[in-house]
Structure 1
Amino acid sequence: MTAPGSAARPDPLGPEAVEDLARWVAMATVSSDPERAAEVRRSAHWLTAAMRRLGVPRAEVWETQGLPAVYGCWPAADPAAPVLLVYSHHDVHAADPREWRVTPPFQPVRRGGRLYGRGASDAKGQVMCHLWALRAHLAAGAGSGRAAPAVTVKYLIEGEEEIGSVHLADLLAEHPGELGADVVMVSDTMLWALDRPAVCTTVRGSVTATLTVRGADRGIHSGAVSGAASNAATELARVLGGLHDDSGRITLPGFYDAVADPAPALRESLADFPFDTAAWLEQTGTFAAQGEAGFTVPERLWTRPAAEVARLTAGRTDMPSLGLVPPEAGADLLLRLVPDQRADRVAEQLRAWLDARRRPGYRYLLDVSPTISDPYRTPSDHPALAALTRAVGHAYGAPARPIGNGGAAPAAQLARACDAPVLFFGTGLPGDRWHGPDEGVDLAALRLGIRALTRFLGELARSSGNSPAPPGP
């Protein structure tokens, strides 16, 4: 299928660009695996070199107490031009090769208009889109003799996003001058569909925690105690069974007190959103659309909070159960928050919820991760949002509508540190299988992304009163 907005336009994504991305995807930059730390470092140096090949005057690796980030900066010729800071990440989620069918996770392959491999969509393809768009933007201005972008472009590409951005706060505190910006753009988000141009205006926050229940000092043979001893697994199941009520609402005390209504533009957009349940189920591999009663799937994803059990453990997992009653059981919990909820307040509500469910005969431990994040909404009246909306509409050949993003991003943290509004732009799609087997990126989405970002650089300059180079493709 021909991508929207692609007729009679030059292809901004040549074979060499895809090969470059494939080389990067082949690096196993799994930040959660200490044995892959060297690969994350190699990736940081590779990206720095890629920026320098493009001509970025300042490109360097920033070390942290953990894994490195990459910083780049190309100043505009006009010191009064807007400053854009692009945030993304070069680390990837862990992958089990036994689950992959198209290709092993770090042996990228191009097939049927897609590039498969871990990180091809989340988020190495998105990072490369920005570099390719900058190249196209510079080429579009070559006729005017301009050798610099119409706006100052900065990059912060961290290496620990998949483990909670544990040292992002340190980077922001240590480099306030380098990271100063008028606008921040987070490129770690999804589109909805290639034929439905949209601009993300909200992202959910997150609180992650591990709940551990213990009912005995050791595993005991069921023949000796079955029916009379504490069972940690069944107790954990009882507690988790009360996380939602019968209508799908989360039962944390006061949880919905700060759940804000969606912005009018988003609500209007969702009212006539052309959502196809069957197509969504097929794209995501989901068996049924579930969730809070009274809301559509897009509303649940973009305007309502959520609580998920991400992992359950109990008993021996490395051998048969041996007939033992498990002494301990655990669950990883993930809560998604919406404006105007606060992550620290929700963490307190989670503790209060557990306290109300404790009972004698068990020990309970709730460990809330320190890498919680607040939700964020882009100011609806900011000129940069209008510039991005125009650019996306131009690339797709149709007006762009506002949507939300179901995942989380450190947008609120970046907004506070940079004292700047945050925009969102991504090239991921629901069928790209982020964090799952056979992750891949649709090359048509990358092409549209390049065109939109190229146009955006000029639109951003124009929105501030600067005279940009000729518009991009």
Structure 2
Amino acid sequence: MHEFLARHEAELIEQLVGWIRLRSVAGLPERAPDLLRSAHWLAGALRAVGFPVVDIWKVEGAPAVYAEWCAAPGAPTVLVYSHHDVRAAKDDEWEETPPFEPAVRDGYVFGRGASDAKGQIIAHLWGVRAHLHATGREAPAVNLKFLVEGEEETGSGHLADLLAEHRDRLGADLVVFSDTLMWRADHPAVCTSIRGLVSARLEVRGPLRDVHSGAVSGPAPNPVLALARLIGDLHDKQGRVTLPGFYDNVTGPSERRRAELAALPFTEEDWLARSETRSANGEAGFTVLEQLWARPAAEVLSLLAGDPVGAARGAIPSAATAGFSIRTVAGQRATDVAEQLRRWVEANLGDHVDYELSIPEKMTGDAYESPEDHPAVLALAAAMEDGFGRPAGRMGNAGGGPAELLARTLDAPLVFFGTGLPEDRWHDSDERVSVAMLVNGAATLAHFWDRLSRSR
């Protein structure tokens, strides 16, 4: 596998570089043509690998790409899920290269989408190629289907409808979810869980308009102060989220899970260097890895009020807004947490200000855990050892995604495989992907299809 991939490494990189150049930014109407071009690019790449059926499914948000290669009667059918849309990027904040002018240096490909998630799809394409080369087969040893959507970065708003509309074509025995991170390049680990997500926007309103502070300062309601007090009460002194009922259905990591996470190589110094987070605190009584992958969390991602740029007007602002991101774990329901947030805001904000709390349904989703010791999990762990040259540990994914929706709608177990790393700077400037990770990831997938076909 590795010999074949090493011979074609330059071609792999060239493909990824060409795809990154397409500005398939999610959520911007002016980028709709680029999203369509990105979908056509991927469709062509899948056909070049050998997929006999490749379609572009037009979706209101952005096109999705579907492909299938089902020529292995009696073998498992696997649906690979990922996405080809990317986050917006500001050219002047990138130092290595402009975000859509990819650069290759020091073993990395730099550019928006290099790791999240175009690089992961490229690994899949070359994994199929390597699998066919190594086995001498004319078709994969398992029946493969791909669903690569175009609006994951904006919450997969139309994915549920897409799954329902094409349910008859998407049937599978297993789902492989490829929009995740791996722990370290030198220590592979099978991801077996992903957290859920509840996103919310809170606007607090004070005066009916921005008012000169010298005229009303003192008695006037200040929405910034009201919002700041509320945010300050989001966690207690132990780092626990204060929403009433938030932990009622959280069982905490099992002893087995704690042992799996403790077995991963971890030092705080290494974590801070790779994550660039300055310090580590959070919920008392749990390690950093347990907090990341086995405990829920609540964050404030944006805060806006007054005159954040330019000359200050000396006015009490009429409104202040904050964006919340709540990560849930198994046992919690996103709908329940959303209701807990509503009740908490109503009870704690006070009646001297008005407010509007919006929780878009498309920006909520439940956590998912792969079935313990499922044959596919064991096959993936063995394939990772083949691909990376050392035994694979166990880990989780701190972010969210439509894993639970896919598993529930398709009535199939789901496993995770990604080639990203915490230091790849997802959603930030100078996003990058390790070429070695792509190659080892492709080798892993090549072995996985063979092992999975024999795990029945």
Q: Aligned to 1:100, which of 87, 94, 98?
A: 94
Give the CA deviation at 1:263: 4.5
Contact between 1:305 and 1:336, CA under 8 Å: does it hold in 2? yes
Q: 1:233 maps to which residue?
A: 224
- For 1:399 and 1:19, the matched residues in 2 are separated by 30
Q: 1:468 maps to which residue?
A: none
Contact between 1:393 and 1:400, CA under 8 Å: does it hold in 2? yes
Give the CA deviation at 1:12: 6.1
Contact between 2:191 and 2:394, CA under 8 Å: does it hold in 1? yes
- Report percent identity of matched pairs: 51
Contact between 2:306 and 2:315, CA under 8 Å: does it hold in 1? yes
Q: Aligned to 1:306, which of 286, 293, 297?
A: 297
- For 1:426 and 1:47, the matched residues in 2 are separated by 18
Contact between 2:102 and 2:111, CA under 8 Å: does it hold in 1? yes
Q: 2:47 maps to which residue?
A: 52
Contact between 1:12 and 1:451, CA under 8 Å: does it hold in 2? no
Give the CA deviation at 1:224: 0.6
AA aligned opposite 1:390: A
**5 Å matches for 1:297-446?**
297-317=288-308, 319-371=310-362, 372-446=364-438
**Structure 1 residues 284, 11: closer, same or farther in 2, change over 3 A?**
same
Question: Deviation digits for residues 74-101 of structure 1, max 9, x if unmatched?
Answer: 112x321100100000000111111100
Q: 1:115 maps to which residue?
A: 109
**5 Å matches for 1:9-408?**
11=6, 13-76=8-71, 78-142=72-136, 146-317=137-308, 319-371=310-362, 372-408=364-400
Give the CA deviation at 1:265: 3.7
Say what the alpha-carbon RMSD is for the aligned residues.
Answer: 1.4
- Comparing 446-455 and 394-403, the one that deviates more: 394-403
Unaligned runs of 5+ residues in structure 1 are 465-473
Unaligned runs of 5+ residues in structure 2 are none
- For 2:186 and 2:307, the matched residues in 1 are separated by 48
Contact between 1:215 and 1:231, CA under 8 Å: does it hold in 2? yes
Give the CA deviation at 1:273: 2.9
Give the CA deviation at 1:245: 0.4
Contact between 2:282 and 2:291, CA under 8 Å: does it hold in 1? yes
Question: Deviation digits for residues 162-185 of structure 1, max 9, x if unmatched?
Answer: 000001001100001111000000
3-state DSSP of counterpart to 2:59: coil
Contact between 2:253 and 2:290, CA under 8 Å: does it hold in 1? no
AA aligned opposite 1:315: G
- Comparing 225-234 and 107-116, the one that deviates more: 225-234
- For 2:385 and 2:320, the matched residues in 1 are separated by 50
Question: Deviation digits for residues 241-295 of structure 1, max 9, x if unmatched?
Answer: 1100011000011101111333554221123332121121111211111211111
Contact between 2:112 and 2:430, CA under 8 Å: does it hold in 1? yes
AA aligned opposite 2:244: P
Give the CA deviation at 1:381: 2.8
AA aligned opposite 1:367: S
Contact between 2:130 and 2:446, CA under 8 Å: does it hold in 1? yes
Count of aligned residue pairs for this structure pair? 455
